[in-house]
Amino acid sequence: MLSPEENTRVTRIGPGSPCGKLFRRYWWPLCLSIELPENDGAPLRLRLLGEDLIAFRDTSGAVGLVDAYCPHRRAPLFFARNEECGLRCVYHGWKFDRHGDCIDMPSEPVGTTLQAKVKLLAYPAVEKNGVVWTYMGQKDLQPPEPDYEWTRAPAKHVFVSKTFENCNYLQALEGGLDTSHSSFAHNNFKSNKAEPRQRDRTPKIDVERTDCGYYYVSTRDMGEDGKYVRVYQYIMPAQQMRANCVGWFGGKNETPRQDGHIWAPIDDTTTHVYNWMLAYDETIPLKPDWIESRESGMGRGAGDIIPGTFRLKRNQSNDYAIDRAMQKTQNYTGIVGINTQDFALQEGMGSIADRSREFLGSSDKAVVAMRRILLEAIEINEKGGNPRGLHPAQYRNIRAHDNMVQAGADWRIAFEKELVAKW
């Protein structure tokens, strides 16, 4: 468990907070590229790490990210005109480029010195494989751009979706890192009896720290068939990589892949989850029909989302459409969709879970290790040091992997080549 003070320290991410200062050392997903579909298109209202922001794609196609309010009289720039490589506030016509420089001030006399003094808060933005990223920290501490394998793989091998979660990022992240819950929360009684997570519901968990966070290993005993070993990666501050390479979790036609999540805090009590998939084999891209089937099975397909939002139709307001009859006969929760099942449990803990009231067990090793690393990183950052996972060299070559391993065999040897990025 965490003390109330530790829980506050690791969950509050607003400007000036200890965790907020740590998180501003990293690049974060800002939005999907499809949310900014055209040059000089409508500005996009956003919130990230507790800050209100506006994103826009300028005339050249580059993405800008600026304060949501004009520095003149704090008028909302959501209503601004996006024109000729800048946002023009419709209140008095002041115009700013994506760097935050004031490039026109028509309401002031010609030759005014005020224009050179006015600056709009702006953050850098880069696009990689359908995701726009930003860095919101000190300029002199800015690390290199994100360089995960899934951000540099061919576009046909990558898919990214986004969902809104109504709780603090940490309980969402913990849910992703918790491997033992899949034996229960995601148990479909009739369809997955052969899955390792149902044959052995008490996985052995091992955690090993790395330069970017840690890898953790879930080992399930399959009896005469050997052991099912799944190696996950936790990458600071809030990303998980996992593999689905042996066909247990989606049927015989499932494309071998890696997938994972980044839990990007909107503010202290809400989160955007970026769900990415990467085709494992360089010769086999992700198929659109398979992606659609997979997303629907997760409960976040096109028909599962409230139009115009990233919110699930099955949500807190309708108890995730829980079906008690289904719960008795078809699946463990009575809720449709793996993602939806997770949200029901994570959001149901409240906006910010009280970790001082927990009783943790051996299956919580990965969660405990992550909390310790985050608390250590906050302290390191406060003392002027560099926390884990800032530089691409620390994470760019890692992969997750899963497969069967014969009894007595060493998974480290069996997986040696597969845990290295291919792109």
Query: What pLDDT does 251 receive?
Result: 45
Which of 119, 141, 163 delimits the end of a domain?
Answer: 141
In terms of domains, do 338 and 267 share one? yes
Tell me how far apart the 2 most distant CA atoms of the chain are, in Å. 84
Residue 246 carries which DSSP code?
A: S
Which of 112, 141, 170 delimits the end of a domain?
Answer: 141
In terms of domains, do 218 and 273 share one? yes
Query: What pLDDT does 142 receive?
Result: 98
CA dihedral 142, 148, 151, 154 (to 10 degrees): 140
Closest to 24 (Cα-Cα) out of 52, 63, 51, 5: 51
Q: Is residue 1 part of a domain?
A: no
Q: Is residue 2 part of a domain?
A: no
Which of 118, 141, 164 delimits the end of a domain?
Answer: 141
Q: Is residue 17 part of a domain?
A: no
Q: How far apart are the first and last CA of the chain?
A: 39
Query: What pLDDT does 190 receive?
Result: 67
In terms of domains, do 393 and 249 share one? yes
In terms of domains, do 54 and 38 share one? yes
Supply the Cα-derived Rg of the chain in whole angstroms. 23
In terms of domains, do 195 and 166 share one? yes
| Structure-token pair, residue 60 | 């050249």
**Where do we find the tokens 């913990």?**
174
Query: What pLDDT does 247 receive?
Result: 61
In terms of domains, do 126 and 168 share one? no
In terms of domains, do 228 and 360 share one? yes
Q: What is the pTM of this model?
A: 0.94
| Structure-token pair, residue 322 | 């829980």
Query: What pLDDT does 194 receive?
Result: 61
Residue 310: which domain range? 149-414
Distance CA 268, CA 20 (A): 10
In terms of domains, do 87 and 180 share one? no
Q: Is residue 153 part of a domain?
A: yes
Q: Is residue 5 part of a domain?
A: no
* HSE-CB of 316 using CA atoms within 13 angstroms: 12
pLDDT in tens, the chain (423 residues): 899 999 999 999 999 999 999 999 999 999 999 999 999 999 999 999 999 999 999 999 999 999 999 999 999 999 999 999 999 999 999 999 999 999 999 999 998 999 999 999 999 999 999 999 999 999 999 999 999 999 999 999 999 999 999 999 999 999 999 887 877 878 777 665 567 767 778 889 999 999 999 999 999 898 888 999 999 999 999 999 999 877 655 444 567 889 999 999 999 999 999 999 999 888 889 988 889 988 999 999 999 999 999 999 999 999 999 999 999 998 999 999 999 999 999 999 999 999 999 999 988 999 999 999 999 999 999 999 999 999 999 999 999 999 999 988 999 999 999 999 999
Q: Is residue 15 part of a domain?
A: no
In terms of domains, do 137 and 157 share one? no
What is the domain-level CATH number for residue 198?
3.90.380.10
Number of residues that make up the chain:
423
Q: Is residue 19 part of a domain?
A: no
Query: How much of the chain is in helix, strand and coil states, percent to nearest 5?
Result: 30, 25, 45
In terms of domains, do 167 and 307 share one? yes
Beta-sheet strand order (sheet of 102-104): 81-82, 87-88, 95-96, 102-104
| Structure-token pair, residue 190 | 């009739």
In terms of domains, do 38 and 182 share one? no
Distance CA 361, CA 55 (A): 43
| CB neighbourhood size of 269 (10 A) | 15
Query: What pLDDT does 182 receive?
Result: 76
Domain count, the chain: 2
In terms of domains, do 319 and 363 share one? yes
